[in-house]
A and B are shown apart, each in its own frame.
Chain A
């Protein structure tokens, strides 16, 4: 068992507060990803868990024990750094066995252990090399090996793939997922790359400005974002937002009026909004369709981005907003075309004037069981 619990954690420097009260429960064997824009405090939060930054207020519990004042090496954690932070003057084996050397374990045992770990990571042939003789991916693997050697309760990763090129990043991502599966240990992973977050995580923690915006499984965040920030942050390309006015509220759904006077019925719970309120409609580019027969709204194509498999159209619609539409790679639309767009109300999200999402009348079928957000209620900060 290795669980991590954060209770109202704060981090203050002399006059700024970086982390403004974070509550979080990380279960045994869970892969948790902290994600957020630069400066949101995700790295700071990880470093506080690691013990590299002091905790200004609140409690940090590992396996139920308060470890606020326990030094980093005594917390039973291992960390993989963004720059790998290998010791340049030591060989791969010495790098991996350094913690054992400090612990006073005999040379024989140290190297045995390093060799065992090297076997897992396919580094055996490189044990006597120095870090500078390794490629980026190999260095990354040594850094992971250095963490593995310590047999930690919890692995911490601080943007470990951001220094790798795109192809290697995908490969290491798959290896990390495999590693988590085979080790069955708790992992906390910081990234600003939402693809890493979506693919690796059991649970994503979206942070902004030192506050947790939402905690949940990747699909939970994708299908049921709690507010405008999460909706815009998760998903690529970004979700489209349109300013709308509420024209009727029913149990089965709410009808909103677009700037073009078109009406869309969105299946959300009634209650928090009333007729006449202004609200924000959100719809993802992959859910918009170019549809000649069933057009909701017309728009002028500003830019066409053809990626081969898919095509992104940037379309200016009535009201001056620009929508991103994802279509298939064979779409014929050209720049300056006027195209009809169909908005399917069932795939739309509705946010009230404060930016909070209005709950939908149904749950997405992949998010119904084992969803985390009910377990860990969080203050809504809007």
Chain B
């Protein structure tokens, strides 16, 4: 998805004379990074496209041959694929809503002066520094575990019994874990955005008769809209490829309950050894991600204009 972002401006350059002369003189300077990007992005992409039109199963690598779009028709007719797309969408949307919603509220809260503000901010941001596998393991074994987990102990202590999160609410459990990991990111961006709000604007609104809710609705939220768009874009790009949390906790299950697109491709490629099918799935994922990226870039670009 980022390849489209990088490549596009180069096509757009209008071929006017002064610019061409400038391009000639700067080409050697940009060449190293362009070549590196080409190797980094285009080569894997081309290989993926190549494999997606091949029958290539690692269990029987000798039987490799060109099979046209069979890989795509097979994947698109696989109900598991559509389930994984649905799961991906639910996961992305739910975590976006939670992180941006809570992030905005927390940003407003952390913008206030209170005792221990500095420490509270560091603590609130710290989950972001924990790597996904580790935080998923902590959530799985120390918090959500039905026997040893903290949540189970609390609910049992209250006489409510324990919830087996990964068996009964697997997708919700994943959503909670990913939200916990990404809330600090949203909070950080939104907090810096809210700190850049001119305090005289808030005071002017207070003089105009705005109560705290109106202040938030009419002054803070419009001010944050750009930052929210940026957070949504960056988070979406990462949420489309959530993997470690699923791999560590549920392994995509029970059944396909927590299999998103990335995990589906992983299942295809590394559990069924079907490189051709996985490549086809990967390409579909790239196309989907690009569609999302285009929409997001547009909305962000529009937001940056105004």
- Bound together, the chains give a CA A77 to CA B198 distance in angstroms of 21
- Determine whether A146 belongs to the interface, using a CB cutoff of 8 Å to chain B: yes
Interface residues of A in 78-95 (CB under 8 A from B): 78-79, 81-89
Contact of B306 with A81 in the complex, beta carbons under 8 Å: no
- Bound together, the chains give a CA A245 to CA B42 distance in angstroms of 91
- Bound together, the chains give a CA A122 to CA B214 distance in angstroms of 30
- Determine whether A50 belongs to the interface, using a CB cutoff of 8 Å to chain B: yes
- Determine whether A34 belongs to the interface, using a CB cutoff of 8 Å to chain B: no
Name which of B204, B222, B225 has the most chain A CB atoms within 10 A of its CB.
B204
Interface-located stretch among A11-19, A56-64, A98-106: A98-106
Given contacts A87-B218, A89-B222, A98-B218, contact A150 B200 (CB under 8 A): no
Contact of A82 with B207 in the complex, beta carbons under 8 Å: no
Per-residue B-contact encoding for A189-201, CB less than 8 Å = 1, 0 else: 0000000000000
Contact of A82 with B200 in the complex, beta carbons under 8 Å: yes
- Determine whether B111 belongs to the interface, using a CB cutoff of 8 Å to chain A: no
Given contacts A87-B219, A102-B214, contact A52 B205 (CB under 8 A): no
A319 to chain B, nearest CB (A): 48
A271 to chain B, nearest CB (A): 49
Contact of B198 with A73 in the complex, beta carbons under 8 Å: no
Interface residues on B, range: 10 to 19
Interface residues on A, range: 20 to 34
Contact of A85 with B204 in the complex, beta carbons under 8 Å: yes
Contact of B200 with A81 in the complex, beta carbons under 8 Å: yes
Contact of B306 with A79 in the complex, beta carbons under 8 Å: no
- Determine whether A209 belongs to the interface, using a CB cutoff of 8 Å to chain B: no
Interface residues of A in 91-141 (CB under 8 A from B): 98-99, 102-103, 130
- Determine whether B298 belongs to the interface, using a CB cutoff of 8 Å to chain A: no
Given contacts A83-B198, A85-B201, contact A73 B218 (CB under 8 A): no
- The 8 Å CB contact of B206, one of A52, A83, A84, A86, is A52
- Determine whether B15 belongs to the interface, using a CB cutoff of 8 Å to chain A: no
Contact of B208 with A99 in the complex, beta carbons under 8 Å: yes
Contact of A102 with B200 in the complex, beta carbons under 8 Å: no
- Bound together, the chains give a CA A102 to CA B217 distance in angstroms of 11
Contact of A102 with B207 in the complex, beta carbons under 8 Å: no
- Bound together, the chains give a CA A71 to CA B207 distance in angstroms of 8
Q: When A and B form their complex, which 4 residue pairs have the shortest distance between CB atoms, in order from nearest?
A: A73-B209, A85-B200, A99-B208, A85-B204
Taking Cβ atoms with an 8 Å cutoff, the residues of B that contact A are 198, 200-201, 203-210, 214, 218-219, 222-223, 225, 306
